[in-house]
Amino acid sequence: MAQEFIVEADGGSRGNPGPAGYGAVVIDAVTGETLAETAEYVGVATNNVAEYKGLVAGLKAARELDPDATIRVRMDSKLVVEQMSGRWKIKHPDMKPLAAEAAAVASGAQVTYQWIPREKNKHADRLANEAMDAGKRGEQWSAAASTADLRAASRAAAEPAGPPGDAAAGAARARAALAGATGKASAAARPGADAVTADARAARSVAADGSGASGEPSGTGTATAAPPVGWGAADLGAPATFVLLRHGETPLTPEKRFSGSGGSDPSLSDAGREQAVRVAAALAARGTVQAVVSSPLLRCQETARTVAARLGLDVELEPGLRETDFGAWEGLTFAEARERYPDELTAWLASPNVAPPGGESFAEVTSRVSVARDKLQAAYAGRTVLLVTHVTPIKTLVRLALGAPPESLFRMELSAASLSAVAYYADGNASVRLLNDTGHLR
C-alpha cells in the first residue's frame, strides 16, 4: 500500500522583491511525524517565486522518500494552490518555469493541493524565516541549527486533537515523548538527509541557553502553550488584513467631480500614474501584501496592475468593490449638483437610503460591499490582501469595522492613492489599523 505524505511549504521575501527564502516539510499523513525538512536562502526574489521554490523542494523531498507515495500539498499561498490545481492561469513569466518544474517533479504521482491559513503553516513558515535569517548572516540554512520542528510541535501539542490523519494532531501525539526526552520522532528518513530529530533539537536548545526554542523557560522539557495575546484573550490566529488603496488621480479628481460607476470610466492622469508607481514601491518595501484584488473600473485596474507588477502578483477583479453609481450627478461638481438638483441632494445627504437620480444609494453600496468583504475575508483568511478600490467602498469598510453610523461617510478624508487598513479576526471582530496614509507620496 502506497504511503501518503503531506507536504507543507512556504516562502517569503523581505522586500518583495528582496532577500528571500523557502521552507518545506514532509509529514506522514497517518502519524503526523515529520519525515523530512528542507529550507534554503535563494537571494533576491519575490514572495511568489519563493513560494514556488518551496513547493518544488517539498515535492522533491517527498519523492525521494517514496517515489510511489500519494502527496497532499498544503500551502497558505492561494496563488500557488490555484495555479497548480489548474483553476488559475499562470501569466507571470517568473512563475511558469517553476510551476512546470513542480509538475515535472510530481509527474506520475497522485498530488492534490489544499489552501490552508497561515497559522496552520507555522512549521514551513519558520523554516523559511530561518533560511532568510541565515542568508542575512551570509550563510545557508542548516538543519543542525534549526528549531522549527520543535516549535511547531510545541504549538501542535497545545492545540485540540483533530481527526485521524490531521497533521497537527498527529504531530502532537508523535512528539508527546519530548516531555521525557524518550521520543523517537523522525525528522529524516532518507540516507544523508540534512535533518535531526526533534528531541535532539530540544536537548541542544536547552544545553545552549537553558531555554526552549522560543527563548521561554524550559522547565522539565514539557511543551507548553503560548500565553494569551492582546487583551488577555485567546490567540485567534492571524487576521485577514485588507490593505485598502484608493486609485490614483484621474482628470476628474482635482476638480472634485462625482466620478462613480455610472458615467464615463476615466483612466489615470499622468499624476495618477506617478502615484501608482510610488505606492507600488512603498508596498514592495513593506513586503506584506500576498494578493491584489481590484474594482473592475479602469482607474483601479491601472493602479492595481502597476502595484501587482512590482510585487510579482496577478490582479483579481471583484465587482463588489466598484464605486457608487452617482446617476445624473456623474461628472458634476458638488456645487453644480446643488444648483441643478437642490432637493434631491438635500435628501441624499440626509439619508443613506436615498439615491441620486438614476443612481445608487449608500445603503445599496453598503450591501454589495459587505458581500464582497465577507467573500474576500473567507478567501484570504490569515493573509494580507491589497484591495484597490474607491472612496465610498473604502469608507464603508472602515465605517462598518468601527460600527459607526452612516453619516460618518461624510466625516472621513480619503486622498487619491492613499492607504488604509482593516484587520478581520476569526471571532468576527475588526480593527482599523490605518486611515488615509499618504506618506509614500511625499
CATH number for the domain spanning 406: value is: 3.40.50.1240
Residue 327 placed within a domain: yes
The reported pLDDT for the residue numbered 324 is: 95
Which grid cell is 44? 533576491
Are both 431 and 301 inside the same structural domain? yes
In a domain, 282, yes or no: yes
CATH code of residue 23: 3.30.420.10
Q: How far is residue 399 from each of residues 125, 361, 412, 431, measured CA to CA in Å?
A: 34, 16, 9, 11
Residue 152 lies in a domain: no
Which of 143, 174, 208 is the C-terminal boundary of a domain? Answer: 143
Cis bond upstream, residue 97 (ω within 30): no
pLDDT, tens digit, 9 for 90 and up, residues 263-298: 889 999 999 999 999 999 999 988 889 999 999 999
Q: Among 121, 143, 165, which residue terminates a domain?
A: 143
User: What residues pair up with 40 in beta bridges, in sequence order?
Assistant: 22
Three cell numbers written together for 382: 490569515
User: In the chain, how many domains are there?
Assistant: 2
Domain boundary among 110, 143, 176: 143
Instruction: State residue 205's pLDDT score.
Output: 30
Q: Same structural domain for residues 135 and 254?
A: no
The domain containing residue 14 runs over which residues?
4-143
List the grid coordinates of 202: 530540544
Assigned domain for 254 exists? yes
What is the C-alpha separation between 342 and 327, in angstroms, rounded?
15
126 and 255 in a single domain? The answer is no
Pair 286, 138 in one domain: no
pLDDT in tens, 336-366: 999 999 999 999 999 999 999 999 999 999 9
- Residues 423, 303 within the same domain: yes
Nearest residue to 210 via CA among 195, 221, 200:
221
* 299 annotated binding-site participant: yes
Grid coordinates 479602469 are at which residue? Answer: 298
Sheet of 419-424: strand order equals 315-317, 291-294, 384-389, 240-246, 419-424, 430-437
Residues 255, 117 share a domain: no
Q: Which of 199, 190, 196 is nearest to 221 (CA)?
A: 199
Instruction: Dig out the grid coordinates for 344 from the structure.
Output: 434631491
pLDDT of residue 190: 33
Instruction: Give catalytic residue positions.
Output: 247, 323
Q: What DSSP line would sit under 375-420, residue for residue? A: HHHHHTTTSEEEEEE-HHHHHHHHHHHHT--GGGGGG----TT-EE
Q: So what's the pLDDT on residue 238?
A: 80
This model's pTM is above 0.85: no
Residue 231 lies in a domain: no
Q: What is the pLDDT of residue 304?
A: 97
Q: Distance between CA 190 and CA 196 in Å, rounded?
A: 12
- Residue 269 sits in the same domain as residue 400: yes
- Indicate the burial class of 424 (C-beta count within 10 angstroms; 0-12, 13-18, 19 or more): buried
DSSP E strands: which ranges in 149-256? 240-246
The torsion of the CA quartet 146, 150, 155, 159, rounded to 10 degrees, works out to 140
Q: What's the alpha-carbon Rg for the chain, to the nearest Å?
A: 25
Indicate whether 269 belongs to any domain. yes
Query: Strand, helix or coil at 23?
Result: strand
Q: Give, in order, the Cα–Cα distances in Å from 285 to each of 14, 215, 349.
A: 8, 29, 40
Are 119 and 266 in the same domain? no
Residues 419 and 270 reside in one and the same domain: yes
pLDDT < 50 positions in the chain: 151, 153-234
Would you say 119 and 156 are in contact if contact means Cβ atoms under 8 Å apart?
Answer: no
In a domain? residue 421: yes
301 and 430 co-located in one domain: yes
| In a shared domain, residues 387 and 264 | yes
What is the rounded distance in angstroms from the CA atom of residue 140 to the CA atom of residue 119?
Answer: 25
CA dihedral 73, 75, 78, 84 (to 10 degrees): -30
29: CB partners within 8 A, 6+ apart: 3, 4, 5, 6, 72, 165, 167, 170
Same domain, 396 and 277: yes
